Amino acid sequence: MRRRPAVSPLLEVEGLAKRFGGLQAVRDLSFRVDEGEIVALIGPNGAGKTTVFGLLSGFLRPDGGEVRFRGRSIVGLPPHRINALGLARTFQIVRPFPRLTVLRNVTVGALARHPDPAEAERRAAAILEEVGLAAKRDQPAAGLTLAERKRLELARALATEPALLLLDEVMAGLTATETERIVALVRDIHARGVSILLIEHVMRAVMSLSGRIIVLNYGERIAEGRPEEVAADPRVIQAYLGEADEHGPAAD
């Protein structure tokens, strides 16, 4: 880890709240992500993690609270504007452009910074090289395997040249080897100076990647700290076991 201490806050979240009908999906949530960090957002299923991503990236409008990115408020901005400011996301259920080629998928992302299609395509090709999809560049995205689609999702977000990347379960459903490769890829991206906020259920990956972990349950932050601190926190254990009690053996 080449993390420098005392850096400026990249993302600041204060008192974030979101309600769906009778369900309080996110409740008074505050946290920050500093430049150069890898932060993981974990918690039992339905804890509101993906909702938080939706709120941060502009797909959902919060009922209350404030989100500042690089010092400016981004609440109420449409997703593409937030992306333009340097905050990119991936989707938990991958959403490639199915009938476009792999290269074209990533080019769409690159066009955000490079309006000239030829230049955008060069950038996209380089990113495909990096994520290991270069061989598939001329195939339609619909034909990729799940592991490849996850990487494509990552590549497209990366192509928008974000300062902060929100990764929503990019390892879910992958085999151990595939997971290793994604972990290595995330490390590489981080090493290039991109800060990362990730939602993940694969605990081994979370523990090895993140410098800090935020634990969410019922839309609230119940714990925060370094991986080993969080793992030992009784409230965290309770949250996971509590879920197991209610729904039988835990789904994950």
Partner 1 sequence: MTALVLAALGVLLVLPAVLPSYALTVFTFTFFYAYLGQAWNLLGGYAGQLSVGHAAFVGIGAYTSAMLAREAGLTPWLGMFVGGALAAVLGAVIGYLGFRFGLRGFYFVLLTVAFAEVCRIAALNTEAIGGALGLYITFTGNPRQFQFQDPRAYYYIALGLVLAATAVTALVERRRFGIYLTAIREDEGAAEAAGVPTFRYKMLAMVASSFLAGLGGTFYAFYLFSLQPNTVFGIPLSVEIVIRPIVGGAGTLLGPIVGSFILSPLAELSRYAFAAGGWSGAHLIVYGVLLVVVVLFFPQGAVPWLRRLLGRAQP
Residue 94 or 185 having the CB closest to partner 1 = 94
**Cα separation of 197 and 56, whole Å?**
11
We find the least distance from the C-beta atom of residue 11 to partner 1, in angstroms, to be 17
Question: Applying CB under 8 A, does 151 fall inside the site for partner 1?
Answer: no
Give the residue ranges of DSSP H helices in the chain: 49-56, 79-85, 102-110, 117-131, 146-159, 176-191, 203-209, 227-232, 234-246
Question: Applying CB under 8 A, does 57 fall inside the site for partner 1?
Answer: yes
Of 26, 127, 159, 239, the residue at the interface with partner 1 (CB under 8 A) is: 159
Question: Applying CB under 8 A, does 206 fall inside the site for partner 1?
Answer: no
We find the least distance from the C-beta atom of residue 236 to partner 1, in angstroms, to be 30
Question: Applying CB under 8 A, does 210 fall inside the site for partner 1?
Answer: no
Residues contacting residue 30 through CB under 8 Å, at least 6 positions apart: 13, 14, 15, 16, 65, 221
Of 91, 127, 167, 210, the residue at the interface with partner 1 (CB under 8 A) is: 91
In the numeric block, which tokens belong to residue 199? 């939602």
What single letter denotes the amino acid at residue 100?
A: L
**Cα separation of 143 and 160, whole Å?**
23
Q: Taking the CA of residue 251 as centre, how many other CA atoms within 13 Å lie in the half-sphere pointing to its CB?
A: 9
Question: Applying CB under 8 A, does 84 fall inside the site for partner 1?
Answer: yes
Q: Which of 178, 122, 113 is nearest to 145 (CA)?
A: 178
Three-state DSSP class for 74?
coil
Question: Applying CB under 8 A, does 109 fall inside the site for partner 1?
Answer: yes
Of 95, 204, 226, 235, the residue at the interface with partner 1 (CB under 8 A) is: 95
Residues contacting residue 84 through CB under 8 Å, at least 6 positions apart: 112
Residue 50 or 160 having the CB closest to partner 1 = 160
Question: Applying CB under 8 A, does 70 fall inside the site for partner 1?
Answer: no
Question: Applying CB under 8 A, does 222 fall inside the site for partner 1?
Answer: no
**Cα separation of 125 and 150, whole Å?**
17
Question: Applying CB under 8 A, does 65 fall inside the site for partner 1?
Answer: no
Segment lying near partner 1 (by CB under 8 A), choices 75-83, 125-133, 195-203, 205-213:
75-83
We find the least distance from the C-beta atom of residue 15 to partner 1, in angstroms, to be 25
Q: Which of 168, 151, 175 is nearest to 92 (CA)?
A: 168
Question: Applying CB under 8 A, does 115 fall inside the site for partner 1?
Answer: yes
Q: Taking the CA of residue 234 as centre, how many other CA atoms within 13 Å lie in the half-sphere pointing to its CB?
A: 0
Segment lying near partner 1 (by CB under 8 A), choices 73-81, 186-194, 222-230, 240-248:
73-81
Of 63, 66, 70, 112, the residue at the interface with partner 1 (CB under 8 A) is: 112
Which residues in this chain contact partner 1 in the complex, by CB under 8 A? 57-59, 78-81, 83-84, 88-91, 95-100, 104, 107-109, 111-112, 115-117, 120, 156-157, 159-160
